[in-house]
Amino acid sequence: MGRRRIFVAGHMGMVGRALCRLLQALPTVDLVTATRDELDLTDQSAVQQFFRRQQIDEVYLAAAKVGGIWANNQYPADFIYQNLMIECNLIQAAHLADVQKLLFLGSSCIYPKLSPQPIPESALLTGPLEPTNEPYAIAKIAGIKLCESYNRQYGRDYRSVMPTNLYGPDDNFHPLHSHVIPALIGKFSKAIKEQAPSISIWGTGNVRREFMHVDDLAQACLHLMETEQAQYWQGLDPMNSHINIGTGRDCSIRELAELLQELSGYAGQLYYDASQPEGTPVKRLDVTRLKNKGFVSSIELKAGLSQTWDWYKCNHHV
């Protein structure tokens, strides 16, 4: 195989950085990236000019506007507009530049709020979405259908993957805009520093979530992109072609908080604030398709959280 120019869109985010770490280590890959100042992904003309100049062979579409429950609730228009523009511009520009291979990264929030557990890919579009992140979810569903439509009409090999809840180095640790693991890590760190007697955690602690280390996700993405076309598409429905990426294991938020308490050494009390939103009651992905394509998650939650806590302490001056 000759050298490939691979564009990672969203290379400054947690997922993009993990993909770049992995791809940079491959001797046959020339990595292509662009900062937000260099390329506005919501600008159709700029994106198309970028693709014409760069002679790209493959695309990993990890760029997105992301956030937790609070951010999704506060900025629904921003979440649907920006995500739609990013994926429409990148997928169309890739097609116009004759890029044959592309991987679109979505989110497990595309599934109905009350999906069967674990959630199979066939659950897509079978019921109402979780209201707190519906605009974001609709944008991600549109991305899947964009890929399927370009495959059907133009014979492209545009693949879609739906990761479960992710965590790891370079996550967003903003106290309001972050997801549950970085939010909790920030809370534990602050409580230890301030010697706070207790920590308040949103929700009852009873909802269950699946968590995957971002380096595990990057390995899964590379594995799926490197899978030969005929083997990859074998057994997939062209109208329901996305693949879940997860560990197949979940835990309660209470169990997660207690594990982080153990790892951080925080000695105070945990208080669960049931007046705060906590989203869908259970969410775990069916990863049968992923396993059938030859990939199984390898980073256990405790080991991944320990590594993430250590990274946070080193990089956030704890």
Give the pLDDT confidence of 84-109 residue by residue, as tens digits.
999 999 999 999 999 999 999 999 98
In-domain check, residue 316? no
251-252 and 208-209 beta bridge pairing = antiparallel
Q: What count of other Cβ atoms lies within 10 Å of the Cβ of residue 268?
A: 14
Which helix H or strand E contains 138, and what residues bound it?
Answer: helix 134-154
What is the percentage of the chain residues whose pLDDT exceeds 70? 98
Q: Which two tokens stand for residue 1?
A: 């195989």
Phi-psi map region of 160: left, alpha, beta (phi>0 left; psi -120 to 50 alpha): beta
In-domain check, residue 291? yes
29: containing domain = 4-171+210-248+284-299
The residue with tokens 């602690």 is 205
Q: Which two tokens stand for residue 117?
A: 């557990």
In-domain check, residue 242? yes
Whether the pTM exceeds 0.85: the reply is yes
- Name every residue whose Cβ is closer than 8 Å to that of residue 289 and which is 6 or more positions away in sequence: 121, 235, 236, 243, 244
In-domain check, residue 190? no
Kindly report, residue by residue over 57-71, the tens digit of the pLDDT.
999 999 998 877 777
Kindly report, residue by residue over 214-242, the tens digit of the pLDDT.
999 999 999 999 999 999 999 999 999 99
> pLDDT tier at 156 (50, 70, 90 boundaries)?
very high
> pLDDT tier at 177 (50, 70, 90 boundaries)?
low
- Confidence (pLDDT) at 47: 98
Count of structural domains within the chain: 1
In-domain check, residue 311? no
In-domain check, residue 178? no
- Confidence (pLDDT) at 101: 98
**CATH code where residue 54 lies:** 3.40.50.720
- Confidence (pLDDT) at 283: 86
In-domain check, residue 50? yes
Q: List active site positions.
A: 136
In-domain check, residue 16? yes
